[in-house]
Amino acid sequence: MNYGFFRTAAASLKLKVADPCYNCEEIKKAIDTAFNAGARLLVTPELSITGYTCADLFFTSSLQNAAKKALGGIVSHTKGKNIAVVVGMPVEYRNSLYNCAVVAFDGKIMGAVPKTHIANYNEFYEKRWFASGKYFSEPRAVTLCGEEIKIGSRLFDLGGGAVLGIELCEDLWVPNPPSGSLALQGANIIANLSASDEYVSKAQYRRELIAGQSARCVSAYIYAGASVHESTTDLVFSGATAVAENGAIIGEGERFCRETVVTFADVDIEKLNALRRSNTSFENSPCAAQTVDCRIKNNENDLKYRFVDPHPFVPANDEKRRERCKEIFSIQAAGLAKRLEHIGSTGTVIGISGGLDSTLALLVSVEAMRLLGKKNSDILGVTLPGFGTTGRTYNNAVSLMESLGVTVKEISIKEACILHMKDIEHDPSNKDITYENTQARERTQILFDLANKHSKLLVGTGDLSELAMGWCTYNGDHMSMYGVNASVPKTLVRYLVEYAAGVSDEKTAAILYDILDTPVSPELLPPDKNGEIAQKTEENIGPYELHDFFLYHFVRFGFDKSKLAFLAKKAFGDKYGDDEIEKWLEVFIKRFFISQFKRSCIPDSPKVGSVSLSPRGDWRMPSDASFEDFLK
């Protein structure tokens, strides 16, 4: 299966200026390279058949005729090949020349799209040779290589939901690029045939333009730039090639190469269409551009040219990860500070377990106190040891509170839980779900009552991953007065605590690093005979990194089970076997569906990322929806 992926290619060509015959052969080589690699679309630079820097030679009939002949050879070369090819050349219509992109597929010319915005400033003076395509109110008929084709704004239906729109070079650099209109008319792949010269700092700006336009259009953007083989009379071109998808560069070629460079990327059409459907601001517009049918067979895709991030919530780059963590802390603390200020609270109450989530909530509370000009002692940290509490987590909880200067209180829940189990006639030796949830609810009751007693706000500690999996006790740790971690996934919680350790004093950092090394556990079952944690969450419900991966792609893009498994196998490689991925994926789907009733009544909490399960904003589903079809 192709799972909605569409392989694209952008080529920067080794060429000779004003030698269409030579350039034709180089384009053919690029077509073969792209086709043999399984690409379904190849985009070449602006005026790739002639070269961009021909200047007044564009006016000569010799160059124009040679370009048409070269086009004929290129079009013939596409016969029987399952790939659409976009090349650049001057096209004459009546009394004017137009700088055009010509689309060829299976031995036919599918249409020509003229450049709209003609650069005519600084080093550019294209209006000397070319007219603007903006004067075409509708496509016009023109004869090219013996075929009558249409020239004008067009969309090209490539099949499988992929629709191609085209703009040329300067069209991207103007305030209102044609690609915006093309996207609103249905194009989810934008090709840009370009000849952008190089000077200091321009490359980064161009890269940002490409990524930014793909984000605004919720599309793929394929950029193919003119190479170093253009004339160097006054300018140097670098042969920049790039493919962006919804704001991210997913493929990029080396610049300043002497040989042809073909850059590949596997674009996720299904993802783009899903994002558009969920974004109600992305409204369709009346279709002015005609659509040409050139459907390409796209049965399989092995994702050879796409990186699938195993940790989509966590930036791989250290510097970016630190910036992300700093920003998330700021969002969490600002939200908590506003709530405390609004209700006139004297501070916060937090149950501190010595685990990652409560540690993060405590650190956020400390920052909120700083923002409000309050003392850390206004935070009441409560350790609530129960039947499963180990010495390691208990000591870390107490040590961290003391190191941060918060007010420490210890209340054992053992006697209260035994009395409660006696009241409900439950045998304490039966360590079932009732045994576990009794402890979680007892802790929550104590924390709420302490918050009331001291006029403080009870801060929730549960994270996004736990909400997704329902790994929380209903009206136990599930409930609070404000949940600072509710949209932070477990894989990111770890890095937030690590970030905090990096900016803390030596004593606090040492405690935080030990907490980071502690297995994730609710500690509701007694420790093993060595006093170590016996109840390890990931042994029960599976690896959080897998569940966070499933969560991201399911909630953001609505991918089905087969595509989630396919992407996970690509992302994690040999770390997990196919059967293991299938097993935990089924667990994820079942738990995600049956746990919606818990998410339907969660406390207020700040959104910090693109995925949130708040029933008031991002995610709404019936609590009794069936998961059967989602498992197939």
User: Catalytic amino acids?
Assistant: 46, 115, 169
Place of tokens 């004593």: 507
Nearest to 6 by CA among 156, 109, 217: 156
Question: Rounded CA gap, 38 and 17, in Å?
Answer: 30
Which residues lie below 8 Å from residue 100, measured CB to CB, with a gap of 6+?
88, 89, 90, 91, 112, 113, 114, 115, 133, 151, 168
| 124, 226 contact by CB (below 8 A) | no
CB 379 within 8 A of CB 359: no
Separation of alpha carbons 247 and 221, rounded Å: 9
Residues, the chain: 632
Cα–Cα separations (whole angstroms), residue 607 to 99, 359, 380, 490: 47, 19, 25, 15
* Cβ proximity of 137 and 86 under 8 Å: no
Alpha-carbon dihedral sign for residues 313, 314, 316, 319: positive
> CA nearest 241: which of 228, 233, 231, 185?
228
Cβ contact 64:71 at 8 Å: no
* Whole-number Cα distances in Å, 427 to 387, 388, 527, 534, 586: 14, 17, 19, 20, 33
Structure tokens at 371: 């923002």
∠ CA 90-193-87, nearest 5°, is: 55
For residue 263, give the DSSP letter.
Answer: E
Q: In this structure, what token pair is assigned to residue 196? A: 């952008």
Cβ neighbours of residue 421 closer than 8 Å, sequence gap 6 or more: 427, 428, 434, 435, 438
Closest CA to 551 of 618, 451, 483: 618
Q: Are strands 482-483 and 457-460 parallel, antiparallel or unpaired?
A: parallel
C-alpha to C-alpha distance for 18 and 16, rounded to whole angstroms? 6
What value, to the nearest 5°, has the Cα angle with vertex 203 and ends 198 and 206? 110
Sheet architecture: strand order including 248-252: 248-252, 241-245, 220-225, 189-194, 162-168, 154-159, 290-293
Helix (H) or strand (E) holding 100: strand 96-105
C-alpha–C-alpha distance, residues 311 and 321, integer Å: 12
Strands, E assignment, 195-270:
220-225, 241-245, 248-252, 261-268
